[in-house]
Amino acid sequence: MYLLYLDGSGSVQNPTEKHFVLAGICVFERQIYHLITETDKFVSSLNLGGVHDVELHGSVIANGKRSPWKGMGRKERLKVIDLGLGLLRDAHWGVRAFAVAVDKHAKPLSDPVEYAFEEICNRFNHFLSRLWRNGEGQHRGLIVMDNSHYEQALQRLARRFREDGTRWGALANLAEVPLFVDSTASRLIQISDLLAWAVWRRYEHSDTRYFDKIVGRFDKEGGVMHGLVHRKPSTEECHCPACLTRSAIKDSK
């Protein structure tokens, strides 16, 4: 079984923010323990107190307003995020990243969270289908989400996921409705949060420092990047890896 740990970055309500990002890391069941252990070791090396009391949360570390990040210099805090993303970059080759970056001005777009959720579920499902097609086994997928962000919207979607057979019927490889967990208790949700933050910085602030570190992790096959989606207004030109992949596919048709 493959688990996709999802978390979001950016505010849907805040009109001063242009983007919402939903991102996740996809981990095979036997690799979970290793990645959690590596993350715990990293957190322990920071010497910020009890290892299980310290949560890696991109925006909280970046703004430094809360303990244990309060009092730590900005450069040092950003280094923590950078090293945290290094855990994903250096993880087992089978660990893959998925992300959907939504420009809230894209039309037609009724709900950025809904769009991102549906798109990332489809990408995960296609990844599992591809493994089967390529003779790498028939694996089921399970989505695990942080319950503290966008909780209401995502729980509503999770319910629809269960009830609306037509819409979600195509997601044949998913074993269950998404499960909600507390991010403080899940290191892999925390890594997904850092990933979402890095993608959000890339699109919201054109800050590619963190994104570049993990861009090689997005699910891809034969040079086509399936794991990253950028939904933008159709009139805007964009040269991000997701848009370049889309235009390369269009040109080849």
Residue list 193-232, contact with Zn ion (CB under 5 A): 230
| Cis peptide bond prior to 178, omega within 30° of 0 | no
The token pair at 163 is 């009830």
- Report in angstroms the alpha-carbon separations of 83 from 79, 86, 235: 6, 5, 37
Closer residue to Zn ion in complex, CB, 177/243: 243
Is residue 174 helix, strand or coil? strand
Stretch that binds Zn ion, among 139-147, 148-156, 209-217, 239-247 (CB under 5 A): 239-247
Give the residue carrying structure tokens 């979970």: 32
CB of 153 to Zn ion, least distance (A): 24
Residue 247 CB neighbours (<10 A): 12
Q: Does 142 bind Zn ion (CB under 5 A)?
A: no
Closer residue to Zn ion in complex, CB, 177/238: 238
CB of 208 to Zn ion, least distance (A): 12
Q: Which helix (H) or strand (E) segment is 97 a member of?
A: strand 96-103
Q: Does 240 bind Zn ion (CB under 5 A)?
A: yes
Sequence-distant (6+) residues with CB within 8 A of 24 are 4, 5, 6, 7, 97, 98, 99, 120, 124, 143, 192, 195
Size of the site for Zn ion (CB under 5 A): 4
Measured CA to CA, the distance from residue 75 to residue 246 in angstroms comes to: 36
Q: Where are the alpha helices (DSSP H) in 25-111?
A: 32-45, 58-63, 74-89
Stretch that binds Zn ion, among 158-166, 178-186, 215-223, 237-245 (CB under 5 A): 237-245
CB of 211 to Zn ion, least distance (A): 12
| Cross-strand pairs, 174 | 141
- Rounded to whole angstroms, the maximal C-alpha distance in the chain is 56
Closer residue to Zn ion in complex, CB, 99/240: 240
Closer residue to Zn ion in complex, CB, 35/102: 102
CB of 192 to Zn ion, least distance (A): 21
Q: Does 238 bind Zn ion (CB under 5 A)?
A: yes
Contact 202, 100 (CB under 8 A): no
Measured CA to CA, the distance from residue 69 to residue 241 in angstroms comes to: 32
Closer residue to Zn ion in complex, CB, 124/211: 211
CB of 223 to Zn ion, least distance (A): 17
CB of 231 to Zn ion, least distance (A): 9
Closer residue to Zn ion in complex, CB, 34/105: 105
Q: Does 106 bind Zn ion (CB under 5 A)?
A: no
Closer residue to Zn ion in complex, CB, 89/246: 246
Q: Does 19 bind Zn ion (CB under 5 A)?
A: no
Query: Which residues contact Zn ion by CB under 5 A?
Result: 230, 238, 240, 243
